[in-house]
Each structure stands twice: as structure tokens, then as C-alpha cells.
Amino acid sequence: MPRLAVALTCCLVALTGCGADPVATKATDTDPSEFTTEVTNPWFPLEPGTRWTYRETTEDGETLDVIVTATSVTHEIANGATARVVRDTVTRDGEVLEDTLDWYAQDGAGTVWYLGEDTAEFESGQVATREGSFEAGVDTARAGVIMPASPEVGTSYRQEFYKGHAEDEGEVLATGRHATVPAGDYRDLLLTADTTPLEPDVLEHKYYASEVGLVLTIDKETGGREELLSVTQVSSAEARRAGEARLGEAY
């Protein structure tokens, strides 16, 4: 059975709530060619060159800068799919704390799939850990759903699965919500909850605006917030550099 079919079966089961076993037991007819790197889901758009800048405030009052760039680079996933590379960099006073390449693709129905990440946390300029990195089709790792095509209240889904390393889950809590962040006043927002069995106390509420994406994250355990500051477009050259630069390097 193709590894992609295994991953898709697993996540389709999670989406419909028909089972909890992370290991699929039967194949589907889904083919890797049904995936596209053109991610156009209105709640999670990834047009190459788009950059989202966030300000994260921790429970201790520390302020971090978060820059997320939809790059023009694609990545061939071990399970046979091709994914859009998205760069997510966290800094404090210009020092890189965490740097990640995330891999996303969209199916024919408009569901956005999360196919893995290459991530590193830094201390004093050196890689301290790469915990959390995974790629669908490698070892026991499976793809996950990051945004359903038509999110409805009560829909739950597995966002990723690499046993013991990456087991995030999501659920749609509400629609029609409102939030004010430095980037603007947003209405008709989609509200989701992110959890993981690896850290049972963790609960994040995320607010998504149509045609924009994520605008606000609230850590319900600590009170920390990540707020959207701006959405901008970068040059095609910079969009490519963001996807090709080594983790921890400026781009």
C-alpha cells in the first residue's frame, strides 16, 4: 500500500470522528497527484511571498517576534506528495530562538494538509534541539489536517502524527467570532482549539480570518498571546531565500 494512502486514511478517519487509531488499516483511492502546492483555502491561504508578522507575549511578559513566510520553494515529501514550504522564525531582540520549515499541501476538496516540519531551537546561536521534526512517510510519521475545507463547529482532526514527538490535534469551536489585534479589527472569525496528548495541560485557542489566515493565538494555560501585526508581500527573490536558507541563518 502506498504510504500516502496510509496517511490519508488515518487523517480522514480523524476528520470524521469515526476512529481514534492513528494507524490506518485500509487503503484509499487518493493519489498524490490530487495534492497541490497552491494552497487557497480562505482560512489558511499560502500565496507565495505573503509574510505574516506577529508579536508574541509570554506569561512572563517577554516579547518575541514571529515571522511566517509562504515561500516560493516546494519540498518533495517522502510519502509522495509535493508541499509548499513555509518559514516560521521566532526571535528575541534579533536573536533566533526557533526556526522552522513547515510543509503544507491542499487536496482537491480544499482541505489543507500538514506534511511535516524541519525545526530547530537555538541557544547562544547553536542548535539546542530538533525535537518535533518529522516528515510524513518517514518512520511512523503520518500527515495531518491543519484546516478542513469547510470547517464546521464540532469538527475535530489530527493535525500531525509522529508517535511521542508530534501529536497535535485540532477542533473547530465556533464561527462568527471577533478579535482586535494590531493589524486590525477582524470579525466573522473561525475559532479552533489546539491540544496534544503529549502535554495534556496545553490548550491554545486560535482565531482565523477569511482570506488572511491566523490573526490571534491565546494560550489558555498561561495567558500568553500571539497577535498579528501585519500582512505584507515580499519579493520573489526574498520568498525563495526564505525557503532555501539554512535554519538559523538570516534570509
The structural domains of the chain, ordered by start, are 3-244 (2.40.360)
* Choice between 11 and 26, residue whose per-residue pLDDT is larger: 11
How far apart CA 7 and CA 125 sit, in angstroms, is 35
The answer to whether residues 70 and 213 touch, using CB atoms and an 8 Å cutoff, is no
pLDDT more than 70, % of the chain: 87
How far apart CA 160 and CA 141 sit, in angstroms, is 8
Residue 34 pLDDT: 83
Residue 27 pLDDT: 28
Tens of pLDDT along 142-158? Answer: 889 999 999 999 999 99
Partnered with residue 175 across adjacent β-strands are: none
Catalogue the long-range contacts made by 8-13 (C-beta closer than 8 Å, 24 or more residues apart). 8/143, 10/142, 10/143, 10/158, 10/161, 11/113, 11/142, 11/143, 11/144, 11/145, 11/157, 11/158
Tens of pLDDT along 46-89? Answer: 999 999 999 999 988 899 999 999 999 999 999 899 999 999 99
